[in-house]
Amino acid sequence: MKREMSRGRFLLKLVVLGVTCAKPCLAQWTAPLHCDSARPSQADKTGRNACDANAILASCNGGGSTTTTCQGDQTVCGSWTPPINICNPPTSNGPFCSGVHAALLNTGNVLFWYKTEGTLLNEATNSFVVSGKNGNPLSSCQSQSTCLLTDVSPNPKLNYDILCAGMSAGKGDDPLHTVGTIIATGGMTESSGGIANTTFFSPSGVGGSWKAGASTENMECSRFYPTNVQEPSGSTLVLGGTDSSCLGVGTPVMEGWAGAGWSLTGGQVPHQTSLYPRVKLVPESNGEFVMAGENATSFIWDPPGGGWQQAGTMVNPGNNRSQGGVVLLPLELGAGTTTSSQVFTAGGNTLQNSLGCPQNTAEIFTPSLSQGGQGSWGTPPGNKCMCYARADHNLVLLANGTVLAVGGGDGTTGEDYSGAIPIPELYDPTTGSWTVLAGAFDGNGNAVNRTYHSTALLLPDGRVLSAGSDTFSKPPNPGTNDNTFQIFSPPYMFATRPLITAVSGNFTYGSQVTITTQDAASITTVALVRPGTTTHANDFEQRYVKLQFSINPNNQTQLLATLPANSQNAPPGFYMLFIVNGSSVPSISGGFFDLEVP
């Protein structure tokens, strides 16, 4: 079936400092779409600006400019490290060690894993932790020679595969139920079915170790592409995914993990949101979650209201954002209250299952209990667009509360790995503006492919690690950068940054902590940021919570910050702590702090 869409237009504003897109989101396709069963071919896309990255680029750079990225000044554009190998570059037989799954550990290092078992393309069992060399922190990792890659592959090997598992940091199954353990839920069979296994990674030093959960720790349901989310109680909730016993059918049952086995919660996940559903804990009500972002229809989990309730559709009726980025925008705590939460989504494909055309627009969902568990979708401030229509990208909350769109592709050849977009864009939630930053290229000037299966994480020093994609699974042209990662330094990394010299106090809900800094007078934001765990353009955990604070009247070099009053605003677990000055320049994190129920 062909669909006709009306002609649109672009308005452009070019700003010298960086390339800022400030055009209204009026772009539409001018030719029939052939999006029923596959993405359109390049020929199909001729003349359709919103589906043609080259046309979008030309519009965003003054109409026909050959400039492809913000170049030169690092204080404006930021900069990238060169690609850094996780393991040796792949040959036709491997090894393949792509960062398809990535987690920031409470040691400050990053865990990667790809396939952990199986014979497909002879993948080697692999999992690695990246840190700095010679006992240095990850902030010292700038090139191949300064980064340490520690092989933490399961030993003994698992007899199952945790590629495409859910993931989060929660309570381990050890006697102490150690917080900060990475919990992998489910995985895949060779036929892409789900499994019921639970697998644990315990971080330690520059590495850590994997452990297969006991059979008594298996989930009730087999799951492939499930989502993990932390509950206010500190338990891990898993939901969605497909079941190996009924391939292609969503697993509707939700299960909870509190450190000693799974228990059914009784909640039934809507079928159309079964694959890596985008779920966020919101502060509007105790135990309430929002499922919003990829699919046109959104839902709110409101147990008092009877489970999952439909909660509105996106601004463009019938639209989807398959493989689009989704993030909970920063929460701001007031005197015993919290501002309304907002779920932000940008890009993604217009049809489900990664079909249709990538988009450059964005939308915001605001839940509202006053509407009986409902909510509403709206456009961001100014209704502005990204310069690049993209899907399979990652949205990362930066240390100053802005959002970085990194990686993704425009699907120019009709599949997930094509049309790599190396240009990140920065979103400002206050103004709604998008700013093009420095592009990710290899030593030969080629765009680094971070499309399907790519990952990105905020690091403790404020940089962003970008990894993943696995085009080596697409012969005859295997990817050359899939076994690598790069680290992006946003422009604020090159400014004079505030410095935290000490943090003291008990990290329990409602407590006050003291932050020592010579920059106290210039600080406008104190924030807790939850470390990310991410795969398939879905970060299960990143969260940015702005705290109330004041300068200590008895010591002008100390900030007194009040931690969240309850775990609905910030579920238990580890957080980084940043301070941000009036120029939107953040500090390095003051450390990792375990926020606990008193």
Residue-range definition of the domain harbouring residue 564:
502-595
Q: Which residues contact 162 (CB under 8 A, 6 or more apart)?
A: 101, 113, 116, 184, 186, 187, 197, 199
| DSSP E strand boundaries for 174-261 | 179-185, 198-204, 207-212, 227-230, 236-239, 242-243, 246-250, 253-257
Answer yes or no: is 31 within a domain: no
Find residue 579's DSSP bridge partners: 526
Angle in degrees, CA 110, 442, 325, rounded to 5: 55
Answer yes or no: is 388 within a domain: no
Helix (H) or strand (E) holding 391: none
Q: How distant, in Å, are the alpha carbons of 325, 446, 544, 563 from that of 404? A: 10, 21, 14, 26
- What is the rounded CA–CA span in Å between residue 162 and residue 156? 15
Find residue 400's DSSP bridge partners: none
Answer yes or no: is 524 within a domain: yes
Answer yes or no: is 258 within a domain: no
Q: Are 386 and 405 in contact (CB under 8 A)?
A: yes
- Tokens at 36, concatenated: 């029923």
- What is the rounded CA–CA span in Å between residue 287 and residue 568? 7
| Rg for the chain, CA atoms, rounded | 22
Query: What is residue 26's predicted lDDT score, i.e. its pLDDT?
Result: 36
Number of domains comprising the chain = 1
- Tokens at 569, concatenated: 């605003």
- What is the rounded CA–CA span in Å between residue 136 and residue 394? 28
pLDDT tens per residue across all 598 residues of the chain: 222 222 222 222 222 234 444 333 333 322 222 222 233 333 333 323 333 333 333 334 333 333 445 777 899 999 999 999 998 665 555 566 889 999 999 999 999 998 754 444 334 458 999 999 998 999 999 999 999 999 998 888 888 889 899 999 998 888 778 889 999 999 987 776 788 999 999 999 889 999 999 999 999 888 899 999 998 888 898 988 877 554 445 566 788 887 778 887 766 666 556 789 899 998 876 567 888 888 888 888 876 556 788 888 888 655 788 888 999 999 998 655 556 789 999 998 877 665 677 888 899 999 876 545 578 898 888 888 888 888 999 999 999 999 999 999 887 655 677 788 999 999 999 999 888 899 998 888 888 889 889 999 999 999 999 998 877 655 445 556 688 999 999 999 999 999 999 999 999 999 999 999 999 999 999 999 999 999 998 999 999 999 999 999 999 999 999 999 989 899 999 999 999 999 999 999 999 999 987 6
Question: In this structure, how many other beta carbons lie within 10 angstroms of the beta carbon of residue 565?
Answer: 17
Q: Are 154 and 115 in contact (CB under 8 A)?
A: no
Q: Are 531 and 576 in contact (CB under 8 A)?
A: yes
pLDDT digits (tens, 9 = 90+) for 468-511: 887 765 544 555 668 899 999 999 999 999 999 999 999 999 99
Assign residue 548 the CATH number of its domain. 2.60.40.10
Query: What is residue 525's predicted lDDT score, i.e. its pLDDT?
Result: 97
Find residue 181's DSSP bridge partners: 170
pLDDT digits (tens, 9 = 90+) for 8-43: 222 222 222 344 443 333 333 222 222 222 333 333
Answer yes or no: is 215 within a domain: no
- Dmax over Cα atoms in the chain, in whole Å? 71
Query: What is residue 73's predicted lDDT score, i.e. its pLDDT?
Result: 87
- Tokens at 359, concatenated: 């988009």
Answer yes or no: is 432 within a domain: no
- Tokens at 459, concatenated: 């690091």
Answer yes or no: is 583 within a domain: yes
Query: What is residue 3's predicted lDDT score, i.e. its pLDDT?
Result: 25
Q: Are 350 and 361 in contact (CB under 8 A)?
A: no
- What is the rounded CA–CA span in Å between residue 489 and residue 404? 11
Question: Would you mind telling me the total number of residues written for the chain in this entry?
Answer: 598
How many CA atoms does the CB half-sphere of 208 hold within 13 Å? 26
Answer yes or no: is 569 within a domain: yes
Q: Are 471 and 477 in contact (CB under 8 A)?
A: yes
Find residue 598's DSSP bridge partners: none
